Structures are given as structure tokens and as C-alpha cells.
Amino acid sequence: MADVLLIYPKTDQDVKNVNIFFPITLVSIAGSLMKKGFSVKIIDQRINSNYENKIKKELNKNPLCVGFSVATGRQIKHSLDMSVLIKKINPNLKIVWGGVHPTLSPIQTIQHPFIDIIVKGEGEETFVELVEALKKKKDLKEIKGISYKKNNKIYHNYRRPYMDLEKIPDFPFHLVNPRNYFIDIKTSKKTLLLFSSRGCQNNCKFCYNGSIHKSTWRSMSASKTFNLLQRAKELGATCVKFGDENFFYGRKRIQELYQITKKEKSDVNISTTSTLEDLRPFTKKFGEQLVKTNFLDIFIGIETISKKLQKYINKPINTNDLLKLNKNFNNLDIFLKYSFIMGFPNETKNDIQESLDVIKRLMAENKQSAHYINIFSPYYGTAIFNNSWKGYKNKPNPKKLEDWINYSWIIGRNPWVSKERMSYIKRVIHFMYFLNNKDFIYTNRHKNHLIYKLYQEIARVRCKMNFFNFAPEIKIKQFIPR
């Protein structure tokens, strides 16, 4: 019998070995519960097609509650479907929702009739206290970090202070089959998602970090981080993707990780993220040290080169630093992945061009680099959300939980970008992609085809000449079977 049933909902974009990442969120919470003696069952809808029967079977064992991990979008739909199913079978069983969505939108979430309790922010400590209280049938009013219903009234308790990540117990990897979650990132076929820090010291206005982590950063020690790498290796992984917001803040930890890796002769690769600033001094020597620590790739958010837009999003980037890093890391066995955003309010063609010029230099000056251009899509709960919509009609205004299900983060509905400009940006993204030195994410089976190679050359010439007009093939491409 499991005391607690945890469900990881589908996202409807799930592809095995591509984006079905290890459910570290639930595994981490489960570890804390198990340390206190509770038994836990995890059902992952992305992996178990027979999840409905599995859930029903677990309900027969009378758990204390059922928890869902929910991000904005389709996970809301699948969590609601299952919450309704569970309540039909056992109306008294407590349904608990945690994750980014309930944290950013607690009032609407707890108002839903099938949700009894939500956990806001980190779950490890809050959920343990909650489950203990449910077991002893205690009042929930003292539990920090939750909102709950009692006698048809809603109560919002105080937020819980951020936890010390060093106190997180060993992850109970055996609750799921880690091999189901290996991601093929081309350079390393068996990559497992874990985390070693939370938050980021910066406060970029488009990022959820300011709302969730209040621009703070905390991490596990270097030795705890190293132990995770070793544990991943025992499980058959060759690489760990740390999904941290900013792995590199706190240089001491990076130095210590380097020393331990050298001493223990570890060979587990690391794929992770950094801000540009945290890779200072940008030297080759530093890069070589990172290679010896087995860093495989680093994702760096640049977003825009335009000073005006950098100010708008509160993310200053020093172009000279960027170019220095890029050049000095050339020929090192480490990939740099730069992220850019286009489609901001008040963005001019010149602003876009500034970014394009720098992207072209980056790609030319470092053969181990790639860039990603995303279309600006302000997230609800971020500082920039209301700002962007000021003066425009039809601002997304979801009034209830269900309204968030189809709230698309992917296709930006940006009234501040004209139709022509949006079409231009999409063509830019299409052609600039061919400048990438490595196609990291998906294996492109057309890649060695003569037509592909020819088209790639044409695309590269177009980028060189900034000729992004007239591209009927983008429309035709939709009809080509993959």
C-alpha cells in the first residue's frame, strides 16, 4: 500500500528520448516523504498508457492523498481529468496540486471544486508536513506554503521560506525506471534530468524566476552535486542535464566540482545553463577547466543585442564579453548554445538586425556553437506580462483554471508585432537555423540528402546577405511528410 500517490500528467508534446525527462520534481518530493516513513507510488502518464487502471488500483489501497505536478497548459487538462475521476471514486480523498501553475495562480487553482489543497513553491518540506497533518487529521492552518479548503471556505497560508538544498534526502530513483527517461541529446545518448540549484540572482522581466524565486539562488554543495553524477552513472546514464536556472552562480562550487572530478577521475558529462556573466573571465584556461569537469554543453540566455530592448527586459549583455567567451571557447570540446528572443514590443528591424549580426559572428567564430531564436511570448505572472499588453485589446485574461489549458506559450499572440514583421521573424528563424554548427536536439534524417545540403547552402547565402524575403518553401514544407 502506498500512503501517497503522485501523478505526473502528460503534456501532449511528449516524445520518448526527446522530451520525456526524468520526473525529478516528484522523485524529489517522494524522497522527503520516504525519509519520514511514508510510502509513495509515482504514476507517470507520459510513460504508462494504462494509467487510468493503475490509478484506480492505487485508490483501492486508500492513500492519504493524491498529488499532481502541474505546469501551465495541457497538464492542467490531464490533471483535471484525473482529479474528477478520483473524486468520483472516492469523494473524500484529498487532491493536492503543486508545481509552477498553482504557484503562479493560487487563487484560481484552489477555487476549482475538485482540488482540495495546493502547495505553493517548493514541495519537499511543505508536502511532508501536509501529509503528516492529514494522517493525524490535524488542522492545516499552521502549514506554511499551502492554500486549502475547509467547510467550503478557502484559506491561503503564509509562504514558506526557501529550503536548504543540502537537506534534500537522496533521491529514490527506484520509484520509476530511470532508463525510460534517458534523453538522446546527440552528443550524449543517455542523459538524465536532475537539479543541483534553484533560482537565479538576476531579475529579467520576462522570466518566472523573479516571481517564484524572488531573484535568490541556492545550491547543493559540490560534493552533493558530484554524488548525483555518480548515482546517475550507476543507473546507466552518461550525462546529467541539470535543469537549474543558473548552474554557474557561486564560482567556489564550480571550482570544487572541478577538483573533485579530477581527483575521482569521473567521466559523467554535464549539460546545463549559465548566465553570460557567470562564465567570467571567459578565458580559454577557464574553458579548459570546464572541459575537464566534463561540461558538454552550456545554454546561455542572451535574448537580444539591442541596448534599448536589454533595458526593457532588464537583461544587460556586454557584447564584447560574449564575443570573447565565444572565441576563446572555440576548438574546446564544449558546446555553447545561445538563446535569442525576437518579437518584443517596440522592436525595430534594426534591433533584430543587431542580434542577427552578432549571431552570425558567433556561429562563424566558434565551430562548437548554436543559436536558438524564440518568439517573445510573455508568461502570466512575470513583470513584463501586463506591460506588453498595455494599450492592446484581447489581453489573455483567463478567469478560471480551465481557461489556462489552451493558453499557448509556443505560438506568440503578439498584437504589438505587425503581421508582416511576424512573418519576417519566422523567415529569419527558418534561415538562420542553417547557420548552426550542430543540430543538437533532433536527429535530422534528411541531413545527408543532396537537396537538403543544397538548400542549406542557399539558406546560408541568404543569411549572409540578410535576404529573408520571399520564401514559399516555408509554407510548402508543412505538406512534406516527415
Shortest distance, CB of residue 188 to ligand B12, whole angstroms?
16
Task: Please identify which residue in 1, 410, 411, 480 interacts with ligand B12, judged by CB under 6 A.
Answer: 410
Phi–psi pair at 370, nearest 5 degrees: -150, 160
Binding of residue 119 to ligand B12 (CB under 6 A) = yes
Residue 219 binds ligand SF4 (CB under 6 A): no
Residue 186 near residue 297, CB atoms below 8 Å: no
Cell of 240: 546529467
Regarding 106 and contact with ligand B12 (CB under 6 A), the answer is no
- Binding site partner of 127, from ligand B12, ligand SF4, none, Cβ cut-off 5-8 A by kind: ligand B12
Nearer to ligand SF4, 48 or 215 (CB): 215
Nearest to 126 by CA among 158, 82, 104, 88: 158
How far apart CA 212 and CA 191 sit, in angstroms, is 27
Maximal CA-CA distance, the chain: 70
* Among 64-72, 327-335, 352-360, 387-395, the segment contacting ligand B12 (CB under 6 A): 64-72
Under rule CB under 6 A, residue 245 binds ligand SF4: yes
Binding-residue total with ligand B12 (CB under 6 A): 38
Compose the 348-387 pattern: x for residues touching ligand B12 by CB under 6 A, - for all others: -------------------------------x--------
Rounded Cα gap, residues 381 and 438, in angstroms: 34
Q: Are 272 and 241 in contact (CB under 8 A)?
A: yes
Strand partners, 301: 339
What does the alpha-carbon distance between residue 335 and residue 404 come to, in Å, rounded to a whole number?
A: 36
Of the residues 207, 384, 432, 459, which one makes contact with ligand SF4 according to CB under 6 A: 207
Q: Does 200 participate in binding ligand SF4 (rule CB under 6 A)?
A: yes
Q: How many CA atoms lie within 13 A of 107 on its CB side?
A: 3
CA distance 85 to 421: 46
- C-alpha distances (whole Å) from 470 to each of 5, 208, 451, 455, 475 are 54, 37, 19, 15, 11
Listed in sequence order, the residues at least 6 apart from 154 whose beta carbon sits closer than 8 Å to its beta carbon are 110, 111, 147, 148
- For residue 455 the three cell numbers come to 538548400
Closest CB to ligand B12 among 118 and 417?
118
Using CB under 6 A, count the residues that bind ligand SF4.
Answer: 11
Pairing of β 65-69 and β 146-150: unpaired
Of 193, 204, 429, 432, the residue at the interface with ligand SF4 (CB under 6 A) is 204
Within 23-42, the residues that bind ligand B12 by CB under 6 A are 23-25, 28-29
Q: Which does 275 bind (CB under 5 to 8 A by kind): ligand B12, ligand SF4, none?
A: ligand SF4
Q: Is 76 near ligand B12 (CB under 6 A)? A: no
Closest to ligand B12 by CB, 205 vs 460, is 205
Q: Is 123 in the site for ligand B12 (CB under 6 A)?
A: yes
Instruction: In angstroms, give the least distance from the CB of 383 to ligand SF4.
Output: 10
Candidates 38, 51, 114, 127: give the one binding ligand B12 (CB under 6 A). 127
Pairing type for strands 65-69 and 4-8 reads: parallel
Of 437, 466, 313, residue with least CA distance to 382 = 313
Compare residues 130 and 200 and give the one whose CB is closer to ligand SF4. Answer: 200
Q: Please state the closest distance from residue 212 (CB atom) to ligand SF4, in A.
A: 10
204 binds, among ligand B12, ligand SF4, none (CB under 5 to 8 A by kind): ligand SF4
Stretch that binds ligand SF4, among 162-170, 176-184, 203-211, 468-476 (CB under 6 A): 203-211
Residue 24 contacts which entry, ligand B12, ligand SF4, none (Cβ below 5-8 A, type-dependent): ligand B12
- Which strand ranges, in their side-by-side order, compose the sheet holding 369-375? 191-194, 239-242, 269-274, 295-303, 335-342, 369-375
Q: Which amino acid is located at 285 in the chain?
A: K
Our finding on whether 303 is near ligand B12 (CB under 6 A) is no
Laid out side by side, the sheet with 94-98 consists of 40-44, 4-8, 65-69, 94-98, 117-119, 146-150, 153-156
What mask of x and - would describe binding to ligand SF4 in positions 299 to 318, judged by CB under 6 A? --x-------------x---
Residues that bind ligand SF4 (CB under 6 A): 200, 202-204, 207, 209, 245-246, 275, 301, 315
